[in-house]
Amino acid sequence: MASITVENYLKHILLLSEETGDLVSMGALATSLDVVPGTVTTMVKALAAEKLVDHQPRLGVRLTDSGRRVALGVIRRHRLVETFLVNVLKMDWSSVHSEAEQLEHAISDDVLDRLDALLGHPTTDPHGDPIPSAQGKLNSQVYATLATCVLAKPLRIVRVTEQSAEFLQFAEQNGLLPGATVRVTDRNLAAGLVTLKKARGQSAPLSLAAAGKILVEPTR
């Protein structure tokens, strides 16, 4: 069984690789884990020796098949725990990320399977993040964001990618939750703003930075 440190490294490499599409730089990994680059280099070399990652000096690191299986298992536990905390324990969705960070390393496979069944085998967590299946399959569908989507078309919010409590509270206060329907009526790149029209017809400005953290799909 992998240590907590190993699980954290592999999880962060996988999450960062979703953004880069391939190799993750050592600097990006150090920033994500909030450690100094030297610590990352030492740990990545150890992971490479265990054949959990492929390390290419001066270029970056990627997961091997073995490393990816471990990382997907951690993410599955994390997102199922978040779903349980919100749906069953009725905790605020802005506070469950930090709780799940602790619990993701402590739950056995048997408890996880029972938790999955209790929740009805969800495919996404409360933030819209896809939950890997028990077989290690992860939905990799690419979505537009409120910063890149087409204008004036009805859109359904599918995922909020920013996990900080402050951003999630902001999203909730402004009705930008997974499942909500919105339209982007204007996008002003010079001002760094988009204008949203919500389901009830009210308009609201949103920064491009915030808009880029909210994934959407056309309504059917």
Number of structural domains in the chain:
2
Tokens of 188: 């002003």
Query: 47 lies in which domain range?
Result: 4-63
pLDDT at 58: 86
Taking all residues of the chain, what is their mean pLDDT, rounded to a whole number? 94
Higher local confidence (pLDDT), 92 or 18: 92
Average pLDDT over residues 124-142: 93
C-alpha 11/C-alpha 183 separation (Å) is 34
- Positive or negative, the CA dihedral 11, 17, 18, 20 is positive
Q: Which of 166, 168, 144, 140 is nearest to 157 (CA)?
A: 144
pLDDT at 7: 95
Task: For residue range 89-124, list pLDDT tens digits in order.
Answer: 999 999 999 999 999 999 999 999 999 999 999 999
* 1, pLDDT greater than 70: no
Average pLDDT over residues 141-154: 94
* 199, pLDDT greater than 90: no
Inter-axis angle of helices 65-87 and 96-103, nearest 10? 130
Strand partners, 157: 216
Q: What percent of the chain has pLDDT over 90?
A: 89
* 68, pLDDT greater than 80: yes
C-alpha 124/C-alpha 122 separation (Å) is 6
pLDDT at 159: 96
Average pLDDT over residues 136-151: 92
For strands 53-56 and 203-207, give the pairing. Answer: unpaired
* 200, pLDDT greater than 80: no
Looking at 45, 63, 81, which one is the last position of a domain? Answer: 63
Domain-embedded: residue 114: no
Domain-embedded: residue 121: no
* 220, pLDDT greater than 90: no
**CB distance 151 to 186 below 8 Å:** yes
Domain-embedded: residue 131: no
pLDDT at 218: 94
Higher local confidence (pLDDT), 77 or 21: 77
Domain-embedded: residue 181: yes
Place of tokens 């990652």: 53
Q: What percent of the chain has pLDDT over 70?
A: 100
The CATH number of residue 207's host domain is 2.30.30.90
The CATH number of residue 55's host domain is 1.10.10.10
Domain-embedded: residue 109: no
* 46, pLDDT greater than 60: yes
Average pLDDT over residues 35-55: 95
Domain-embedded: residue 213: yes
